[in-house]
Each structure stands twice: as structure tokens, then as C-alpha cells.
Chains A and B, each alone.
Chain A
Amino acid sequence: GESVGLHLPTLSVQEGDNSIINCAYSNSASDYFIWYKQESGKGPQFIIDIRSNMDKRQGQRVTVLLNKTVKHLSLQIAATQPGDSAVYFCAENGIGNQFYFGTGTSLTVIP
């Protein structure tokens, strides 16, 4: 399968600070990427996506940056809140309709 990995397995931030979660991907042919948030006992929840013809996409308090040159994705969360504590996965589209997920980064927000 494809290799989608995360640089840091855990990240702790103070409430109100900005968070940055990084992800490396290996398939230069991937043209669509998604960030998911997974809380304990729940399935992954779609946060934001980006296509390969874009470098940046913004949502509500979240921004995804794509650097195709070095095959790197990042998820920025502004003004991190306790409810943001979760595991975050990046996923890249693979063969057909399947996605390849990374191993996840656990974000802990310290009140």
C-alpha cells in the first residue's frame, strides 16, 4: 500500500494556541487529500479536504496546506479548544475509491 505518515504521534497545546499537525505522503500521483478527526469511541469525522491543484484551503478555524514538491500536508487549527482533543488522520486517495490513512497524531489541549 501507499505510505502516509505523520511526523509526530502526539501533540500537546495550550488552550487558545494554534496547533499544527503534519503529514507526509509518498505517492506523487495522489490528487486528493482529506483530514479526519477521530474522538475516542467514534468513527473518523471529515474536517477539510484539498485537491492537488491547490496549495491552501481554509475552513472554520482550520487551514490545510499542501506542498506537492516535498509531498507534505499540514493541518492548522486556530485558537485550539478542549473539544479539539482527538486523533487526527490525513488520508490520500489511492487506487479506485479507496483512501490510504496515516497512523494519526493525538492532539491534547491543555486547559
Chain B
Amino acid sequence: DTGVSQDPRHKITKRGQNVTFRCDPISEHNRLYWYRQTLGQGPEFLTYFQNEAQLEKSRLLSDRFSAERPKGSFSTLEIQRTEQGDSAMYLCASSPTGEYGYTFGSGTRLTVV
């Protein structure tokens, strides 16, 4: 395990479809984060897990978005009824408890057409 893995790397979907992304954090990292990055902007926080508990959610995470980390290991981010404004890079990051320095994955680039 050499880093944070995200799958898929790219996803093109039609407006109105549901999509799900997966993140596998570094195995010993208890904390897992989801961020969204649009073109030319810095990442924006979406949500954070400590083990399996979802402890923080951004206002950006509308009702169409849901994230899970059922066993405290991998996480999924689902977007229902996708909209064109959802097109972005979705980044996952992880860190050990007590450390702020994240390790990011390479992201999933979502394009909604």
C-alpha cells in the first residue's frame, strides 16, 4: 500500500444518472476526507470520517451526495441525479489521527454531459 487509491480515474455520465466513486486510504490512516476541485480552483472540503463515523459535512454536500465508510477502511461517495455543476475532480485524502498533513489520491474526474 503505497498511497491513496481512487477509482475510477475518469467518469463521464449523463445528467440525471447516479455515480459512485471509491477511495482506498493508506491502511493505517484512521481519517479520511473527500474534497472537490473545480478547474482553476483549490480543493473544497466535502466531508470527513474518523474510522467509520462521518464527523463533518460541508454545506456543499447537498442531499444528492452521500458518503460512507462502512468498515472504517475504504469509502464511497455517491452522487444521485447528477447535474452539470457536479463536473469536477473529486479528491480523497487520508491521515493518521492527530496529524493534519493529508495524503491525497489522484482523484476521480467527473464529467456530466
Contacts and interface: CB of A to CB of B under 8 A. Distances in A.
Interface in A70-109: 89, 91, 93-104
B20 interface: no
B21 interface: no
Given A43-B4, A43-B91, A97-B33, A104 B101 contact: no
Contacts of B43: 44, 89, 101
Interface stretch (B11-19, B69-77, B79-87, B103-111): B103-111
Nearest to A45: B104
A102 to B, nearest CB: 5
Interface string B44-57: 11001000000110
Query: Which size class do B's interface residues fall under?
Result: 20 to 34
A6 to B, nearest CB: 9
Interface of B: 4, 31, 33, 40-45, 48, 55-56, 58, 91, 93, 100-107
27 contacts: A4-B42, A32-B100, A36-B104, A42-B106, A42-B107, A43-B4, A43-B91, A43-B107, A44-B91, A44-B102, A44-B104, A46-B101, A49-B100, A89-B42, A91-B42, A96-B55, A97-B48, A98-B48, A99-B100, A99-B102, A101-B42, A101-B43, A101-B44, A103-B40, A103-B42, A104-B40, A104-B42
Interface of A: 1, 4, 32, 34, 36, 41-46, 49, 89, 91, 93-104
